[in-house]
Amino acid sequence: MAAHLRLLLILCQLTGIYSISKVSVKAGDSITIPCLYQSRYTNRVKYLCKGYRWDSCSFAVKTNKPDRSGKFSISDDKNEEIFTVTIKYLTTTDTDYWCNVEIDHGADYGEYFHLVVTGKPSLYVDSQEIKAYIGDDLAIRCYHGSSGKMQWCRLGRNCVTGPLGKIGENEVTINSTIPHVSTVTMSKVTRQSSGWYLCVQGDLQMPVHVTVTERPVITTSTPLLTSGSGGGETAKHSSSVLLMSLIIPLSLLIVVVMVTLFIFWILKKHRTRNSQSPPMAVSPCGSDGDVLYSSVLITKPQKDEAKRVKAQEEHLTYSTLKNSHS
Ligand SMILES: *[C@@H]1O[C@H](CO)[C@@H](O)[C@H](O)[C@H]1NC(C)=O
């Protein structure tokens, strides 16, 4: 059983590409290299090692140790079991690297790759990063210096050599009518089409990353919603948002009307009470400390009693008390 599995693995490795070995790059540009690893290494530290010899290479960047210079970066996609390393500002000294996995008690696991840094690369693409929506037909141009046969591979899976083939569920065509440019088309991509692919010619590879996402739903009625994504969810979401956008101003209006009515009612009540009630006398008691005023009530004067009130007012006395302790 184990022997059978091993044979199957060897057969797969014969037809597919599991690691990048040689990439032609332009000086000054940057390159991203995907490094495939086995699932047993998922939680291990991954790193890029610089140098021709595995036993004397020095690490450039680790997944737990970022590079401060900004030349190297690394990221680990544990779901895909691929970590990627990016090398910027390529110079002719950026030639020999290793994709390594740290092993605690034992030798680190590593895969060597070689960069050919030139003024004019022999195998390249317009962009290493391609974004598409589900159902799109992808067209990728691979430019190559020599007129040899070009292959299109999915990293860790199979390759398409001829003009027609299949990778996973995707139909692949390679059109090499134009010399030195091969156009690869992948029809009706799905979410599963996302991943790392390679243009391959001779011993050179050029990695290309494809990201397939759901097409965003654009609703014209409410511009707020255009940023949302996801089909059925968005439709359900939009009706509730619409409802909310009606309810909030409506309830605000009701509150404002109620408050206004209440204020009017209070004012009205206050005014009627004022006209009925007698004036209040103020009695500031003991604010001075040594003077006390007795409260005085003045009743509203009647028409014919004006004189009598005046006399009464003169008759009023303020009782003054000295503080007993002073
Ligand atoms: C290949 O591309 C050329 C030029 O773009 C086009 O004329 C030709 O029809 C294509 N061939 C196929 C088989 O699609």
Percent of the chain, pLDDT > 90?
57
pLDDT at 218: 82
Instruction: Report the separation in Å between the CA atom of 178 and the middle of ligand 1, taken as the mean of its atom positions.
Output: 8
Which of the listed residues 164, 172, 177 should we mutate to test ligand 1's pocket, taking the one with most ligand atoms within 8 A of CB? 177
pTM, whole model, 2 decimals? 0.65
Cβ neighbours, 10 Å, residue 290: 10
Instruction: Report the separation in Å between the CA atom of 135 and the middle of ligand 1, taken as the mean of its atom positions.
Output: 22
Q: Is the CB of 177 under 6 A from ligand 1?
A: yes
Q: pLDDT (tens digit, 9 = 90+) per residue, 275-291?
A: 554 444 444 443 443 44
pLDDT at 269: 72
Q: pLDDT (tens digit, 9 = 90+) per residue, 119-148?
A: 999 999 999 999 999 999 999 999 998 878
pLDDT at 314: 46
**pLDDT over 50 at 63, yes or no:** yes
Element (H, E) at 276: helix 231-276
Mean pLDDT for the stretch of residues 53-61: 93
Q: Of 13-17, 162-166, 195-199, 252-256, which has the strongest mean pLDDT?
A: 195-199
20-24, 205-209, 272-276: least confidently modelled range: 272-276
81 in Cβ contact with 36 (< 8 Å): yes
Percent of the chain, pLDDT > 70?
66
172: β partners: 165, 186
For residue 69, give Cα distances in angstroms to 72, 89, 296: 8, 11, 88
- Residue 79's Cα: distance from chain center in Å? 19
Which of the listed residues 164, 175, 184, 185 should we mutate to test ligand 1's pocket, taking the one with most ligand atoms within 8 A of CB? 175
3-state secondary structure at position 21: coil
- Closest by CA to 186, choosing from 150, 157, 153, 217, is 153
Average pLDDT, the chain: 79
- Closest by CA to 222, choosing from 253, 248, 246, is 246
Q: pLDDT (tens digit, 9 = 90+) per residue, 221-276?
A: 655 544 444 444 444 455 555 556 665 566 776 667 787 777 767 777 766 655 55
Residue nearest to atom 11 of ligand 1 (CA): 175
Instruction: Report the separation in Å between the CA atom of 175 and the middle of ligand 1, taken as the mean of its atom positions.
Output: 6
Residue nearest to atom 12 of ligand 1 (CA): 175
Cα–Cα distance measured from residue 73 to residue 37, given in angstroms and rounded to the nearest whole number? 18
Output phi, psi for 117, to 5 deg.
-95, 115
Residue nearest to atom 13 of ligand 1 (CA): 175
DSSP conformation letters of 101-137: E--TTSPPEEEEEEEEEESS-SEEES-SEEEEETTPP
pLDDT at 223: 55
Instruction: Report the separation in Å between the CA atom of 38 and the middle of ligand 1, taken as the mean of its atom positions.
Output: 39
Q: Is the CB of 179 under 6 A from ligand 1?
A: no
Q: Of 24-33, 258-267, 296-305, 309-318, which has the strongest mean pLDDT?
A: 24-33
61-70, 86-95, 103-112, 300-309: least confidently modelled range: 300-309
pLDDT at 260: 72
Task: Provide the 8-state DSSP code for 54.
Answer: G
Q: Is the CB of 175 under 6 A from ligand 1?
A: yes
